[in-house]
Amino acid sequence: MKALVYHGPGEKSWEEVPDPVILKPTDAIVKIDTTTICGTDLHILKGDVPAVTPGRILGHEGVGTITEVGSAVTDLAVGDHVIISCVSACGKCDFCKRGVYSHCRADEGAPGIGWIFGHLIDGTQAEYVRVPFAETSLYRVPTGVPDELAVLISDILPTGHEIGVRYGAVSPGDVVAVVGAGPVGLAAMATAGLYGPSRVIAIDTDANRVEQAKRFGATDGVVATDADWKEQVFAMTDGLGVDVAIEAVGIPATWDMSLDIVRPAGHVANVGVHGAPVSFHLEDKWIANLTITTGLVNTDTSPMLIKLLAQGKLDVAGFVSHHFALGDILSAYDTFSRAAETKALKVILTA
């Protein structure tokens, strides 16, 4: 089969690799129908995720059709059309029983890490993928939901919702700022609306993304290159700062911005994947009664989000900005990596 293979920082190729095979009774083999590229993939290519070693097939999002199942798989069958979760869960270990699937202790990839696709095992930017723990890591696609929307359940919708909105404890009437209006930031804005905030402020250096964010739940926008960007935010919050700041980029500058605009007793929810150290001035912030959260998505809210998507309660069709054939994945990466120029949000690749 063909797959997108990582060859070290800055190096990747679309090449022939062996087809995946069933290794354990709980596995399934899925033929990829639709996949996409995540900001985390760009972090990997920058060298920010050293656990990803040369030779790894990238990708952790996808929708496809089951072509083979292991002997222990009874709830899924060949021919089922499924969403592949970015986090794999055995469903049996202590962490899984607590719903903390992101730290599944099963011996697949590395015990204690649920994000294994395109990280510790071969991923979904390929014609076929082996899916461990199929019954607890795959979801059937509801009738009437197109693949390009279903694939958003793989990662960005649960990530924005769980790590941004839920960890940020967004509540009715809150003022929420999302720093970074890329796909995962937009997902946080779209799902924040489920909790009744009074304002959702999109902050980004890209004026186009700030404007586009208003299609996905943002009530206000601030262009971060404006000299008075911080004053603009405080003017929307009676001078106090936001109740919740969601960091959705993963660089020191946006971490600092989030801390700069949160009010006393507020929440800072870090969603971004950081590849460099950041500073936290505890000598200034110890008195601020802040709650700061970090996390890798558990995908425990995926079934709920699937229901909302199937009922038209999440208007996320506009997330998809570009379409490519799977074989044109190198062009798709080029487009996605130059989002400020290409106005890319989510790029979709279809087999």
pLDDT digits (tens, 9 = 90+) for 7-16: 999 999 999 9
C-alpha distances in Å from residue 176, one per residue of 122, 181, 190, 237, 261: 37, 13, 12, 10, 10
pLDDT digits (tens, 9 = 90+) for 296-322: 999 999 999 999 999 999 989 899 999
Same fold, 2-155+298-350 and 160-293: no
The domain limits of the chain are 2-155+298-350, 160-293
Block residue for tokens 């959702």: 200
For the domain made up of 2-155+298-350, the CATH class stated in words is: alpha beta
Separation CA 151–CA 84 (nearest Å)? 8
Mean pLDDT over residues 191-209, rounded? 96
In terms of C-beta density within 10 A (0-12 exposed, 13-18 middle, 19 or more buried), how is residue 205 classed? middle
pLDDT tier, 340 (very low <50, low <70, confident <90, very high otherwise) = confident
pLDDT at 107 over 90: no
Contact present, 148 and 81 (Cβ < 8 Å): no
pLDDT at 109 over 90: no
pLDDT of residue 240: 96
Element at 176 (helix H, strand E): strand 175-179
pLDDT digits (tens, 9 = 90+) for 113-126: 999 999 999 999 99
Separation CA 28–CA 344 (nearest Å)? 32
Contact present, 293 and 76 (Cβ < 8 Å): no
pTM: 0.94
Residue 294: CB atoms within 10 Å: 13
Mean pLDDT over residues 330-344, rounded? 94
| Residues contacting 28, CB < 8 A, separation 6+ | 22, 66, 68, 69, 70, 73, 76, 130, 131, 134, 138
DSSP codes of every residue in 226-254: STTHHHHHHHTTTTS-EEEEEE-S-SHHH
Averaged pLDDT score across all residues of the chain: 96
pLDDT of residue 317: 87
pLDDT digits (tens, 9 = 90+) for 129-188: 999 999 999 999 999 999 999 999 999 999 999 999 999 999 999 999 999 999 999 999
Residue 46: CB atoms within 10 Å: 12
- The structural architecture, per CATH, of the domain 160-293 is 3-Layer(aba) Sandwich (3.40)
